[in-house]
Amino acid sequence: MKIGIVCYPTFGGSGVVATELGIALSHLGHEIHFITYKQPVRLSGLNQKVHFHEVFVPKYPLFHYQPYELALSSKLVDMVKLHKIELLHVHYAIPHAYAAYMAKQMLAAENIHIPIVTTLHGTDITLVGNHPFYKPAVEFSINHSDVVTCVSQSLKEDTHKLFSINKNIEVIPNFIDVNNHRSQFSDCDRGSIASKNELIITHVSNFRPVKRVGDVIQIFYRIQQSLSAKLMMIGDGPDRAYAEDFCQKLGITDQVIFFGNSNEVNRVLCFSDLFLLPSETESFGLAALEAMLSETPVIASNQGGIPEVVEHGVSGYLAPVGDVDTMSQYALKILSNEAELKQFKTNALKAAQKFDIDQVVPFYEAAYKKAIQQISQSGR
């Protein structure tokens, strides 16, 4: 099957999932065409089965904001016709589902009928998509997709709560490539970032307010008052400067390392003892899943899709948003007992393996077949 994948090409979860999915599909013999404004960060190499087509947006003084949706929809039309693409899989409702619908209508005028599969990832529904300026377009785009999927049961419920959706939404969870992840490192050299007796605490995010990086620092501050530890902060975003300043005010600057955006996340997780994810909301919690695959237990908020990934008291602990006291107590409970930490690490890996990419990809293939069948039956 020739599949066009539209996604954000950044370090965010939706882009990572879309890229890994495309690569996995190519290994199964499908021809994949990534169509976006730059090469996805996780797309390290192209081959006969994986192609990248850049969406170029000409800059005209007339436009205060350059019309990316128009450029994208036109590019989709061109690529479908040129490469005989059979299906478009768009990740993130804004603006991808909307642009795909416009492309579909343009192609239909030429008697080319292409199905659209839309995958909802979270903030496209709960944050951006729910804004009054965008809500009508998002609702329209979802309802006019041929098949709609989302990454968690929690997100499905939020979508139905916030929008008037007349389409069935299928839950297909996010995933990780267990075999690729486990084969990356022959050993974990903790000594490169911490001394032998120091525990390593890690946080990975886009440093937006919803991630509550201040809570991460407060939890770590309480951990280091009782145990020798270092904090690894991976990612970048609007709250990074605040986080760095907060560490300075607490006098823990020497114990915190800010990496910025990095492709070495798995290397850091490899020697981490605990992962912190106190987000205000998470549609799924992909960062937590990646930590668990590295045998790192998780302390997180009990919001959104996180409880579908982290089992309380087994692979980590969950607490209400903003409850820094409880999260700190849970962290110390795990870290203070070597035998308990070892058991949590084992449990985390076992739980993560349930989300292996090989178990999830077939659900997407089934969604594609369903979308194509619907187009064939309707004759449009």
DSSP collapsed to 3 states, 43-110: CCCCECCEEEEECCCCCCCCCCCCCHHHHHHHHHHHHHHHHCCCEEEEECHHHHHHHHHHHHHHHHCC
Are 38 and 184 within one domain? no
**Torsion angle of C-alpha atoms 351, 355, 358, 359, degrees rounded to 10:** 100
Are 313 and 185 within one domain? yes
Task: Give me the pLDDT at residue 376, please.
Answer: 84
Task: Give me the pLDDT at residue 130, please.
Answer: 65
List of residues 6+ apart from 38 with CB closer than 8 A: 9, 54
Are 276 and 362 within one domain? no
Are 161 and 18 within one domain? yes
- On whether the CB atoms of residues 11 and 34 are closer than 8 A, the answer is no
Task: Give me the pLDDT at residue 183, please.
Answer: 45
Are 55 and 129 within one domain? yes
What is the pLDDT tens value at each position of the chain, 380 positions in all? 999 999 988 767 788 899 999 999 999 999 999 999 998 877 876 778 999 999 998 888 887 777 889 999 999 999 999 999 999 999 988 889 999 999 999 999 999 999 999 999 876 676 665 678 888 888 999 999 999 999 999 999 999 998 999 999 999 999 988 887 654 554 566 777 888 889 999 999 999 999 999 999 999 999 999 999 999 999 999 999 999 999 999 999 999 999 998 877 888 898 899 999 999 988 898 899 999 999 999 999 999 999 999 999 999 999 999 999 999 999 999 999 999 999 999 999 999 999 999 999 999 999 999 999 998 887 65
Task: Give me the pLDDT at residue 9, please.
Answer: 86
Domain of 333, in residue numbers = 179-355
Are 299 and 373 within one domain? no
Bridge partner list, 356: 176
Of 195, 193, 318, 177, the C-alpha closest to 262 is 193
In whole angstroms, what separates CA 145 from the centre of its chain? 21
- On whether the CB atoms of residues 331 and 363 are closer than 8 A, the answer is no
Are 351 and 362 within one domain? no
- On whether the CB atoms of residues 265 and 204 are closer than 8 A, the answer is yes
One-letter amino acid for residue 132 of the chain: P
**What's the structural domain count of the chain?**
2
d(CA 346, CA 325): 26
Are 362 and 244 within one domain? no
Report the half-sphere exposure of 367 (CA within 13 A, side-chain side): 24
Are 156 and 197 within one domain? no
Are 96 and 115 within one domain? yes
Are 216 and 142 within one domain? no
What are the backbone dihedrals phi and psi of residue 129, each rounded to the nearest 5 degrees, phi first?
Answer: -60, -25
In whole angstroms, what separates CA 218 from the centre of its chain? 25
- CATH number of the structural domain spanning residue 84: 3.40.50.2000
Are 99 and 188 within one domain? no
